[in-house]
Chains A and B, each alone.
Chain A
């Protein structure tokens, strides 16, 4: 069991480009969560998804950000027209709905 896999580990984008972050949950986990961690800050909840459904997106910015968890393949967090303020570490966690959360190692997005 390889755990929660996130890629890429590091991503550099110019302002205005799109960023796509991928997360493959642990085998058997059907719940995926995305969190953002700004420098010197704690992790902040963004969105909670189950297969093909968004359950809670209360932490997602209203514009430019979207997330999906298709029936097949990884969950994708997509940021359109990135700005410098989007630079952060983005963590994905997966759960089997039995209290167990496992985090990935994160994707560090730098917008130049």
Chain B
């Protein structure tokens, strides 16, 4: 069964600290993996997208890594800001582009001052 598991379920950190979110997936065949940020009451916004041949991709203070052999990905957030408080969702596409995505349940990050 195609699944995407994320950990931790929730995380609280102080402003300015770094944190790493984890994603394990069993989707096969694998096409690409995305990280989305979803603010409360809003739709998900794309942070990064990686195909199986990419190991790392950065977007500002966000850096995603991918190990297609172990089927694991991480999202590292550097120098966290209050505005980083949101749900971070790992999403895997198991087929070619243009088809449905499989979503993890997300990690809820709270950044406090």
In chain B, what residue has the closest Cβ to A34?
B100
Q: Which of B62-113 contact A (CB under 8 A)?
A: 89, 97-106
Q: B97 to A97, Cβ gap below 8 A?
A: yes
Q: A91 to B104, Cβ gap below 8 A?
A: no
In chain B, what residue has the closest Cβ to A102?
B46
Q: How many residues of A contact B (CB 8 A)?
A: 26
B: interface residue count bin = 20 to 34
Check A104/B43 contact, CB under 8 A, given A33-B100, A42-B89, A48-B99: yes
Q: Tally A-B pairs: CB < 8 A.
A: 52
Specify which chain A residues have a CB less than 8 angstroms from the CB of B43 in the assembled complex: 4, 91, 93, 103-106
Check A45/B98 contact, CB under 8 A, given A99-B32, A103-B44: no
Q: A43 to B97, Cβ gap below 8 A?
A: no
Min distance, Cβ B69 to any Cβ of chain A, angstroms: 22
Interface of A is mostly: strand
Interface of B is mostly: loop
In chain B, what residue has the closest Cβ to A35?
B103
Q: B100 to A101, Cβ gap below 8 A?
A: no
Specify which chain A residues have a CB less than 8 angstroms from the CB of B101 in the assembled complex: 33, 45, 101
Q: A42 to B97, Cβ gap below 8 A?
A: no
Q: Counting CB contacts under 8 A, is B12 at the interface? A: no
Q: Counting CB contacts under 8 A, is A41 at the interface? A: yes
| Interfacial residues, chain A to chain B (CB-CB below 8 A) | 4, 31, 33, 35, 41-45, 48, 55-56, 59, 91, 93, 95, 97-99, 101-106, 108
Write 21 A-B pairs (CB below 8 A) sorted by A numbering: A33-B101, A35-B103, A41-B105, A42-B89, A42-B105, A42-B106, A43-B89, A44-B103, A45-B101, A45-B103, A55-B99, A56-B99, A56-B100, A59-B100, A99-B32, A99-B97, A101-B34, A103-B44, A104-B43, A105-B41, A106-B41
